[in-house]
């Protein structure tokens, strides 16, 4: 192919020079052809790109189309029910609710309901009245001195660094107006989080914001921020659904001087949080760390977030809670399908337990150990609609967190450029020019409306099921295509019998 390209190029150059000489035409085309032939010659001798070496000049089209393939896929190929992680219909639902316009759809469902994987709510022929009030849940166990009344839907963990400062400010201002909390993510508590909204401060393995000079946990620095009035809860991040066992990732392109100063790291370098905590290394030490944070924060709700992997490890943590008579005020359950700004593909695709079975397992474990009433469960896995809220509650959640749902409310278009600092909507970038496109005053209103309208939709579904409160919701209100079994029967129907047997043996019964 190289020969043909050079033959054509040289022939066109010769023809253009002929016309230049005998007919006194412009030399512009000849100059362009000389430039193309020079670039083609360089392509043919370089050794890094086989496509360009074999197809000089023409090979660039491959890279151009590859760079815009997500847009081609999204705008010209995928159907309304396609698209991963979220379909066009799901994204449109969030956009409409964030803009506070009608989210009704015409003509009927586009889904295949006659399928074994179909899932639906068993509506009542005697629906209850829709409650216009948005439910709240009190978080705080026996050792908590400052319990917090949380909204049913809140902003899940997203760090400043992964998200732009405008995005963080808009989220926090929206949280303030809607009276729900904003999880900082493991990047730490920053000035952009402090715009009036309630805060759940997440402590990751990098201890950003409460980090000593060696990268370990600093109790004094932690206490300074934990006792700020806007910090309502503290969450220890054990693992994240999209990359459990890996630790957080901040690409070098997004690690600006500003972010490096906040986190206490070197700017413009790839930041990999350690896979595990240095403040504790086993279940017993984790429970002791929970107690330490509770004391340092003067009794604020303390919890931890994890993606379930080896179920025996979670059971061991529960046994240590019982032995020490020390319980977290909440446990946040993430699923393997969770979101991330950057993660190795192997971790995103092949590590961790999905949200549904993980939530069922955690809920059943706490019930069987008779400690469910001591701990709130927060579900954090693709929560984007009123249906997904009701679904999570039926599986065992008390509260729901959403990350990508609120990103869509900010204007995210699922461009899949979170990791390279080129987010076109200014949500997941540190590029100042792109960030300017995200107007805080407008987007904070959209955050507020998405939260309010989504919870109202959940209330409507609750009423359609004939229920008056979320305490009445369980797996029995759902049906499935595979013999319409209860969701709770799909995963781990008999898996917890060994727990009670183990306890009896341990206690000498």
Judge if the upstream peptide bond of residue 104 is cis by omega within 30 degrees of 0. no
466 — phi, psi (to 5°)? 80, 20
Both 476 and 333 in one domain: the answer is yes
Is residue 325 a part of any domain in this protein? yes
Question: In this structure, is residue 78 part of a structural domain?
Answer: no
pLDDT of residue 305: 95
> Using the 8-state DSSP alphabet, how is residue 131 labeled?
P
The string over 1-32, giving b where at least 16 C-beta atoms fall within 10 Å of a residue's C-beta and e elsewhere, is eeeebbeebeebbeebbeeeeeeeeeeebbee
pLDDT at 95: 87
User: CATH number, domain at 450?
Assistant: 3.20.20.70
Residue range 129-154, pLDDT digits in tens: 999 999 999 999 999 999 999 999 99
Residues 6+ apart with CB under 8 A from 215: 206, 207, 278
Calculate the alpha carbon distances from 120 to 72, 83, 356, 360, 384 in Å.
33, 21, 15, 18, 16
Q: How many domains does the chain have?
A: 2
**Domain that residue 46 falls in:** 2-67
Residue 353 lies in a domain: yes
- Give yes or no for a contact between 415 and 71, defined as CB atoms under 8 angstroms apart: yes
Core vs surface per residue 453-487: b (16+ CB within 10 A) or e: bbbbbbbebbbbbebeebeebebebbbbeeeeeeb
Domain boundary, last residue among 67, 97, 114: 67
Structure confidence at residue 141 (pLDDT): 92
Of the residues 67, 92, 113, which one is the last residue of a structural domain?
67
CA dihedral 40, 44, 49, 50 (to 10 degrees): 120
Pair (154, 289) in one structural domain:
yes
Kind plus residue range of the DSSP H or E element containing 317: helix 311-324
User: Which segments in the chain show pLDDT lower than 50?
Assistant: 484, 499-500, 502-504, 507-509
Question: Cα–Cα distances in Å, from 17 out to 6, 22, 33, 128, 338?
Answer: 16, 9, 10, 84, 61
Q: What pLDDT, on a 0 to 100 scale, did the predictor assign at position 509? A: 42
Same domain for 455 and 319, yes or no, is yes
Tell me what pLDDT residue 134 has.
Answer: 92
Q: What is the pLDDT of residues 162-171, one digit of tens each?
A: 899 999 999 9
Locate 349 and state its tokens.
């695709």
pLDDT at 54: 77
Phi (first) and psi of residue 363, to 5 degrees: -60, -45
Q: Specify whether the CB–CB gap between 303 and 334 falls below 8 A.
A: no
Residues 372 and 457 reside in one and the same domain: yes
Full 3-state SS string of 269-286: CCEECCCCCCCCCCHHHH
Domain boundary among 43, 67, 91: 67
Quote the pLDDT of residue 478.
Answer: 86
What's the predicted TM-score (pTM) here?
Answer: 0.82
Query: What is the torsional sign of CA 57, 62, 68, 74?
Result: positive
HSE, side-chain direction, 13 A CA sphere, residue 356: 12
State how far the Cα of 158 lies from the Cα of 128, in Å rounded to an integer: 37
Query: What does the alpha-carbon distance between residue 112 and residue 118 come to, in Å, rounded to a whole number?
Result: 8
* Residue 428: closest CA among 168, 209, 181, 189: 168
Task: With respect to residue 81, please indicate whether it lies within any of the assigned structural domains.
Answer: no
Establish if 44 belongs to a structural domain.
Answer: yes
- 103 belongs to a structural domain: no
């Amino acid at each position: 192919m190289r020969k043909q390209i050079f033959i054509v190029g040289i022939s066109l150059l010769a023809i253009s020079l002929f016309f230049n000489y005998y007919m006194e035409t412009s030399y512009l085309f000849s100059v362009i052809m000389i430039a193309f032939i020079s670039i083609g010659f360089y392509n043919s001798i370089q050794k890094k790109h086989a496509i360009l070496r074999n197809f000089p000049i023409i090979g660039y089209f491959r890279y151009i189309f590859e760079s815009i393939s997500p847009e081609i896929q999204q705008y010209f190929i995928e159907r309304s029910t396609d698209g991963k992680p979220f379909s066009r219909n799901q994204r449109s639902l969030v956009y409409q609710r964030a803009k506070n316009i009608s989210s009704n759809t015409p003509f009927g469902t586009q889904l295949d309901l006659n399928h074994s994987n179909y899932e639906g709510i068993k509506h009542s022929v005697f629906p209850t009245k829709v409650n216009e009030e948005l439910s709240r849940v009190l978080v705080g166990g026996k050792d908590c001195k400052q319990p917090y009344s949380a909204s049913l839907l809140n902003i899940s963990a997203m760090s400043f660094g992964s998200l732009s400062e405008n995005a963080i400010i808009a989220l926090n201002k929206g949280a303030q107006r809607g009276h729900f909390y904003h999880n900082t993510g493991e990047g730490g508590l920053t000035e952009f989080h402090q715009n009036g909204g309630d805060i759940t401060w997440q402590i990751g393995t990098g201890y950003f914001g409460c980090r000593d000079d060696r990268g370990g946990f600093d109790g004094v620095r932690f206490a300074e921020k934990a006792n700020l009035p806007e910090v309502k809860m503290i969450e220890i991040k054990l693992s994240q659904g999209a990359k459990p066992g890996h630790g957080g990732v901040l690409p070098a392109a997004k690690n600006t001087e500003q972010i490096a100063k906040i986190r206490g790291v070197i700017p413009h370098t790839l930041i990999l949080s350690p896979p595990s905590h240095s403040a504790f290394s086993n279940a017993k030490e984790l429970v002791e760390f929970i107690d330490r944070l509770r004391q340092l924060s003067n009794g604020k709700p303390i919890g931890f977030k994890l993606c379930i992997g080896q179920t025996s490890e979670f059971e061991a943590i529960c046994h240590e809670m019982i032995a020490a008579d020390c319980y977290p005020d909440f446990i946040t359950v993430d699923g393997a399908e969770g979101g991330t700004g950057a993660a190795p593909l192997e971790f995103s695709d092949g590590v961790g337990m999905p949200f549904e079975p993980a939530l069922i397992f955690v809920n059943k474990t706490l019930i069987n150990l008779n400690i469910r009433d001591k701990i709130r469960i927060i579900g954090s896995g693709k929560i984007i609609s009123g249906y997904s809220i009701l679904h999570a509650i039926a599986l065992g959640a008390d509260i729901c967190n959403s990350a990508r749902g609120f990103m869509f409310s900010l204007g995210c278009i699922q461009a899949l450029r979170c990791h390279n600092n080129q987010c076109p909507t200014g949500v997941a970038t540190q590029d100042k020019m792109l960030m300017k496109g995200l107007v805080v005053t407008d987007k904070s209103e959209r955050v507020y409306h998405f939260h309010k309208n989504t919870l109202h939709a959940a209330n409507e579904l609750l009423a359609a099921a004939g229920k008056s409160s979320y305490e009445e919701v369980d797996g029995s209100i759902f049906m499935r295509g595979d013999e319409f079994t209860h969701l709770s029967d799909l995963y781990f129907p008999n898996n917890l019998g060994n727990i009670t047997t183990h306890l009896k043996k341990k206690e000498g019964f």
